[in-house]
Amino acid sequence: MSVETDFLASLNSSQRQAVQHFCGPLLVVAGAGSGKTRALTYRIAHLILNHKVNPENILAVTFTNKAAKEMKERIELIFSRRLAQEKHGQRLELLSEYEQTKLRSSAYRSIIKYLWIGTFHSLFARILRYDINKYQDKKGYEWTKSFTIYDESDAQSLVKKIATKELNIDDKKFNPRSLRYSISNAKNQGLYPEDVLTQQPTYRGRVISEVYQEYQAQLAANNALDFDDLILIPTRLFAQNESVLGYWHQQFKHILVDEYQDTNRIQYQLINLLATNGETNRKNLNWENRSIFVVGDADQSIYSFRMADFTILLDFQEDFGDGLPDDDTRTMVKLEENYRSRENILEVANTLIENNTERIDKILKPTRGYGEEIYCYKADNEIEEAKFIHNQILKLTQENPELGWGSFAILYRTNAQSRVIEEALLSDIPYHVVGGLKFYDRKEIKDALAYLRLLNNPNDTVSLLRIINTPRRGIGQKTLDQLITASQELNVPLWEIISDETSVNTLAGRATKAVNEFAQIIKKYQASLETLPGAEILDGILDESNYREDLKNQGTDEAENRLENLKELDSAMMQFAEENEDSSLEGFLANAALASDLDNLNEEEEKVSLMTLHSAKGLEFPVVFLVGLEQGLFPNHRTLNDPTALEEERRLCYVGITRAQEQLFLCYAQERRLWGSREPAIPSQFIAELPKDLINFSSPPLQPRRQKKTTSKNNKETKKTSDQSSRNWEVGDRVFHKTFGEGNVTHVLGSGNKTNLAVEFPGLGRKILDPRIAPLQPL
């Protein structure tokens, strides 16, 4: 077999057909574990290897960053094998470790680096880095290429600030979380604030619309985008600018999408625009040397709460096919063999999903025989359930030495269920909560990133406020309020005030020195952005800002741990610089903001994984515990009276069951304390839908085996009062300043003896001055 095609030998004929299809649209539909992701991955290698497609011309969309990483590794392996044959006439595995590493890094540098593989968010963030300045916003907002990406918690805090502090909305009636959710929904449907009101002409609609309006204005003022913007803005940009769309259409000749059933309308529009260059008549589409290839399974559509819509998958042929009689067969491949799960596990999954009415029947045949018995365990309560899992894991690892901790996954419906399970595992089983312990969510990492974000984008006020007094440098809330008010009244970013010494001297009272020192450090590193490597900038700023020193002085284990995490951030920056063509600070920050929960999975392979069913999509584990199968918990109580939502819960259960390769445990409790109250529970209706003969309802045999809060001292900023305050200053007044010369008053801030003036000095810019103290002469 030739080197060119030997990797295709590990595919079945339908997969091979999908991989070898060159131009035009192709849809691969198939059940869980049938090798869809594998086919997609191999297709990329095949395009490069056999059709000589330039890696830069390939765009592959994955559902998680982890999936993207795995895909790149897999392709790297295929190419390293080929290089091993070419250079050494040997199989890669037979070469020395040193040679193997050399070949892999050569494959990386020549191919993998150039591929556009990632999530919708990461890929389109990258595109916006090139073109966001060409975007014409309907409201006139502008962003520059160094925009900051706000993660979910940044977005939440911005919505909260706007709703409760600025618009005085009662947070009991309108929970900021739900407002944020509504804004996100609106964006996922491509709606502007005013459209929300048209769609929902109620009081609630008006509140959402107002908060959304202000939220977007503040994002723009901070030169920031949220996750939804990363999809929405490119869609609008492509729709309004033919040459931008044309450029990217030319670039991405081959588009591939995994988990297509969980694509939402806006994401679909993006893909559609890129593939068709905006051509709406499918008869006019020209597929010469280009393709669109999507894979999915409607039975695994579980993100409708994020506006995903699996009819997009069902409409694929309608959208991209030519409509000729044999279109159906030319543009679709079905995979019918499951390679992942034992036969009994697969049968249980298939029987369950047949209870859904809204589905297309499909075949999913096992390729692996019956495995271990599937148990459905009834626990007295949630603590017993957790103990059961703990004991079974210990027992199975003792019986099967090949099972490492990484072989086990515990899947649940809601995050809150993890705590009790964690407590049971804590003493003797290493575990990690996927999605719970996000590296980039840790306080010290967020602080360090805020410093970096500020260097990169000084208009990012959210980051500025996060760190201006972290570590504590005596800049109190009152000082900050003064500075913020000035920036609001002048309608300039806060940094513009803080970076100007004179303005600070006027406004910051006793904290003046601290604010100026802070601004000096930021300016110093801003000036070195182009010359110093990212990790050095990080180290420098953490030292000079006393951030590290402050942690060292705390001397606690927790502080020690935080220092280690900061070191890890250094490594992340270095690794990023090595691995990416775009190794700029901007690039790194975008990557960090997008780092998903699932990214930690790899490093922590030898730990039991705890995660929600939603996070488990696309993954597989030898042993899976599916817990909390109780009515109201799973299916979730919000879905019990809604047949469509209930079907989605059933799909979620199908996803859970089909993650298991060798063994599956189902668990439920008769009584459960969750979210603070203890309630009797009844078994999930899904249990009754499973084939009784394949499930053992008896118990399986057991073989045992924290920061001190310092009250900021009454940090009163005593101001000299003076008679000069009696003068009535007005915008347009001309003044003379001893040092700055003649200027124009552009704003009068505050009133009475709290009046400050913003004065524009030609050639020097704007300074904020206290007329009682500053050597100002009215002209």
Does the active-site annotation cover 419? no
Residues in region 698-737 near ligand ATP by CB under 6 A:
none
The CB density around residue 449, as the number of other CB atoms within 10 Å, is 22
Residue 604 or 620 having the CB closest to ligand ATP: 620
Rounded CA-CA distance 547/566 in Å is 11
Residue 29: partners with Cβ closer than 8 Å, 6 or more residues away: 295, 296, 297, 298, 313, 332, 333, 334, 335, 360, 362
35 binds, among ligand ATP, Mg ion, none (CB under 5 to 8 A by kind): ligand ATP
37 binds Mg ion (CB under 5 A): yes
Residue 31: HSE in the Cβ half-sphere, 13 Å Cα cutoff: 25
What is the per-residue binding string for ligand ATP in 639-678, x denoting contact by CB under 6 A?
A: -------------------x--------------------
Residue 41 or 461 having the CB closest to ligand ATP: 41
Residue 41 or 684 having the CB closest to Mg ion: 41
Residue 16 or 672 having the CB closest to ligand ATP: 16
Query: Which one-letter amino acid corresponds to residue 373?
Result: E
Annotated binding-site residue? 519:
no
* Of 25-33, 96-104, 237-245, 587-595: span binding ligand ATP (CB under 6 A): 25-33
31 binds Mg ion (CB under 5 A): no
Does the active-site annotation cover 258? yes
Which one, of 333, 302, 301, 297, lies nearest residue 317 by Cα? 333
Pairing mode of beta strands 408-412, 431-433: unpaired
What is the per-residue binding string for Mg ion in 566-605, x denoting contact by CB under 5 A?
A: ----------------------------------------
| Three-state DSSP class for residue 365 | strand
628 binds Mg ion (CB under 5 A): no
Query: Which one-letter amino acid corresponds to residue 332?
Result: M
What is the per-residue binding string for ligand ATP in 26-45, x denoting contact by CB under 6 A?
A: ----x-xxxxxxx-------
Annotated binding-site residue? 24:
no
Q: Are 158 and 227 in contact (CB under 8 A)?
A: no
Rounded CA-CA distance 81/107 in Å is 9
Largest CA distance in the chain: 96
Annotated binding-site residue? 278:
no
Rounded CA-CA distance 649/638 in Å is 10
487 binds, among Mg ion, ligand ATP, none (CB under 5 to 8 A by kind): none
Among 618, 622, 635, 743, binds Mg ion (CB under 5 A): 618
Q: Are 80 and 103 in contact (CB under 8 A)?
A: yes
**What percent helix, strand, coil does the chain show, rounded to 5?**
55, 15, 30
- Least Å distance between CB 31 and ligand ATP? 7
Q: Are 80 and 104 in contact (CB under 8 A)?
A: yes
DSSP state of 633: B
Annotated binding-site residue? 102:
no
Could you tell me the two tokens for 3?
């080197």
Residues in region 275-304 near ligand ATP by CB under 6 A:
297, 300
601 binds, among ligand ATP, Mg ion, none (CB under 5 to 8 A by kind): none
Does the active-site annotation cover 334? no
Which one, of 330, 333, 335, lies nearest residue 320 by Cα? 330
254 binds ligand ATP (CB under 6 A): no
- How far the first Cα of the chain sits from its last, in Å, is 91
State the virtual CA torsion across 407, 412, 414, 419 in degrees, nearest 10.
-70
CA 412 to chain centre: 21
Residue 216 or 261 having the CB closest to ligand ATP: 261
Residue 237 or 346 having the CB closest to ligand ATP: 346
- Least Å distance between CB 13 and ligand ATP? 9
Given the residues 261, 300, 397, 506, select the one marked as catalytic: 300
What is the per-residue binding string for ligand ATP in 329-348, x denoting contact by CB under 6 A?
A: ----------xx--------
Does the active-site annotation cover 91? no
Could you tell me the two tokens for 668?
């439920």
Burial 688-711 (b: 16+ CB within 10 A, else e): eebeeeebeeeebeeeeeeeeeee
Annotated binding-site residue? 632:
no
188 binds, among Mg ion, ligand ATP, none (CB under 5 to 8 A by kind): none
10 binds, among ligand ATP, Mg ion, none (CB under 5 to 8 A by kind): ligand ATP
* Of 11-19, 157-165, 171-179, 678-686: span binding ligand ATP (CB under 6 A): 11-19
10 binds ligand ATP (CB under 6 A): yes
Residue 286: partners with Cβ closer than 8 Å, 6 or more residues away: none
Residue 618 or 771 having the CB closest to Mg ion: 618
658 binds Mg ion (CB under 5 A): no
Q: Are 318 and 273 in contact (CB under 8 A)?
A: no
Annotated binding-site residue? 32:
yes
Given the residues 15, 16, 37, 649, select the one marked as catalytic: 37
Annotated binding-site residue? 699:
no
Residue 35 or 587 having the CB closest to ligand ATP: 35
* Size, binding site for ligand ATP by CB under 6 A: 19
Rounded CA-CA distance 428/275 in Å is 52
| Three-state DSSP class for residue 22 | coil
Given the residues 43, 378, 413, 659, select the one marked as catalytic: 659
CA-based radius of gyration for the chain: 29
Residue 367 or 554 having the CB closest to ligand ATP: 367
622 binds ligand ATP (CB under 6 A): no
Could you tell me the two tokens for 159?
């919505």
Could you tell me the two tokens for 427?
């003493």
589 binds ligand ATP (CB under 6 A): no
Given the residues 229, 259, 309, 648, select the one marked as catalytic: 259
Residue 635: HSE in the Cβ half-sphere, 13 Å Cα cutoff: 22
Give the residue closest to Mg ion by C-beta. Answer: 37
15 binds ligand ATP (CB under 6 A): yes
Supply φ then ψ for residue 355, to 5 degrees: -75, -10
- Binding-site residues for ATP: 30-37
Give contact residues for Mg ion (rule: CB under 5 A): 37, 618
Give contact residues for ligand ATP (rule: CB under 6 A): 10-12, 15, 30, 32-38, 297, 300, 339-340, 618, 620, 658
Catalytic residue ranges: 36-37, 258-259, 300, 659
